Structure 1
Amino acid sequence: MHRSLVRPFMGVRGFSSTSKKIVASVLFERLPVVIPKLDPVVYAFKSFRKGKGDYQIDNVPAPRITEADKTIDRKSLQRALDRRLYLLPYGNSNAAPSGKPVWHFPEKVYDSEETLRKCAESALAFVLGDLSHTYFVGNAPMGHMVIRQMENVPEPFKRFFFKSQVIDTNKFDIQKCEDFVWVTKGELLEYFPEQAEFFKKLIIS
């Protein structure tokens, strides 16, 4: 695998698509469905303030462990309910010029779109079919990485990341790829070990 030089996002002014290739990638996330477990220290503090044995949870929490958790079904959005999940398709990618399928983010080479954000929307729409259950957070990229020219990367390029979120659904009909997974941040880092430090900083747990 190639090495990538990770840099903070500094904007796209002066970086034309004719001088270097630009790729718009989408960090598509499902937000937590249930609140995280109450920290034992917080629980003890509240119990102390209310008196021993008097503290109780007002609302009955939803089940945290689902069937998808038990079977480790990474194709399901019904798992890791108290954490964020991220979509990774498997197939052809701009990061693999050799044409070999790899795990990657929904992405597209910037071509004639009005904006880089529009390019990112097209990338996600290609995978999902439509964007009716998505929400793009802001118009600007959240970060970028520079892929240098190497033996297996004949043309250097910049990959800009946009954030989008799942809205009002727990299932997508994903067909435009050989395979796909929904993964937590920790699981995602397993798919990109060489870029782990970059994604640790880019992704909020």
Structure 2
Amino acid sequence: MRRALTSLTPHLASAKRGFCTKPEKIVTSVLFERLPVVIPKIDPVVYAFQEFSFRWQQQYRRKYPDEFLNKSSTRGKGEYQFDYVPAPRITEADKTNDRKSLERALDRRLYLLLYGNAYGAPTEDPVWHFPEKVYESDETLRKCAESALHNVLGDLSHTYFVGNAPMGHMVIQPKEDVKDLSPFKRFFFKSQVIATTKFNVGKCKDFVWVTKDELLEYFPEQAEYLNKMIIS
């Protein structure tokens, strides 16, 4: 019996080898975002409630003598007074729809998209995609994501990666016209712009900074998943 089991061992090992498949590819993508620069406008419903609340409180506020109010209104007046004029919310980049500029959509989040060759694309023609890199010899997925963004920007001193774990992932099934490509996983990492309004984006044919709504137009097939993953 021992001889029989021993003789079967090589056959079992060879059978297991027969079921081994090509290792699944992993791609890290970076969702590089610029946070809002100005406070978003208040929703009309919220504004109406705040106005109603203010008027309601005014009915029960303490009333002061006119002499006290007149004295308080004269305080602080002097030669150092000046009229404050806030900067416009609509910039030149908004008026010209300059999507290469970070100085647009100041009350929204902007995301970086690249136009060039991407892993898993149906053809060799350039497509719109996030900064990405195939995971091979990097120490961690986070390091791979940092390398992907570094390859595009050349410097990460004005970037901040949010956490060590990916914010989401998806399994990409290659299309029928793509040969010699097996399904692969794409992991998304979030990084944010810190203290700058301009980057020297390279290693791509083109790039844009877009809002979430504009971003979904570039990925119609993945729009449903990206809409749930990106909180904006």
Q: 2:70 maps to which residue?
A: none
Whole-angstrom distance in 1 between the partners of 2:122 and 2:54: 62
C-alpha offsets along residues 42-76 of structure 1, whole Å, 9 cap, x if unaligned? 22222233339x8xxxx975421100000000000
Q: Which amino acid aligns with 1:30?
A: R
1:51 is paired with a residue whose SS is: helix
Asked whether the 8 Å contact 2:112–2:208 carries over to 1, the reply is yes
C-alpha offsets along residues 16-42 of structure 1, whole Å, 9 cap, x if unaligned? xx6111000000000000011022222
Whole-angstrom distance in 2 between the partners of 1:185 and 1:49: 33
Q: 2:127 maps to which residue?
A: 102
CA RMSD of aligned residues (A): 1.8
Q: 1:169 aligns with which of 192, 196, 200?
A: 196
Whole-angstrom distance in 1 between the partners of 2:177 and 2:161: 32
1:176 offset after TM fit, Å? 1.3
Q: 1:150 maps to which residue?
A: 175
Whole-angstrom distance in 1 between the partners of 2:112 and 2:175: 28
Whole-angstrom distance in 2 between the partners of 1:23 and 1:60: 48
1:141 offset after TM fit, Å? 0.6
Whole-angstrom distance in 1 between the partners of 2:204 and 2:228: 28
Q: 1:140 aligns with which of 143, 165, 178?
A: 165
Unaligned runs of 5+ in 1: 1-17
Which structure is higher in helix share?
A: 2
Larger Rg: 2
Q: Does 1:83 align with 2:108?
A: yes
Whole-angstrom distance in 1 between the partners of 2:146 and 2:199: 16
Q: Which amino acid aligns with 1:199?
A: L
Q: 2:37 maps to which residue?
A: 33
C-alpha offsets along residues 112-155 of structure 1, whole Å, 9 cap, x if unaligned? 00001000000000111111100000001111111114323422
Whole-angstrom distance in 2 between the partners of 1:199 and 1:78: 24
- Give TM-score scaled by structure 2 length: 0.74
Whole-angstrom distance in 2 between the partners of 1:150 and 1:48: 56
Unaligned runs of 5+ in 2: 1-21, 59-83
Q: 1:47 maps to which residue?
A: 51
- Give TM-score scaled by structure 1 length: 0.84
Q: Does 1:66 align with 2:59?
A: no
Q: Which amino acid aligns with 2:36?
A: P
- The 5-angstrom pairing of residues 123-134 of structure 1 reads 123-134=148-159
1:173 offset after TM fit, Å? 0.6
CA 1:200–1:61: 2 relative to 1, 3 Å: farther
Aligned-residue identity in percent: 77
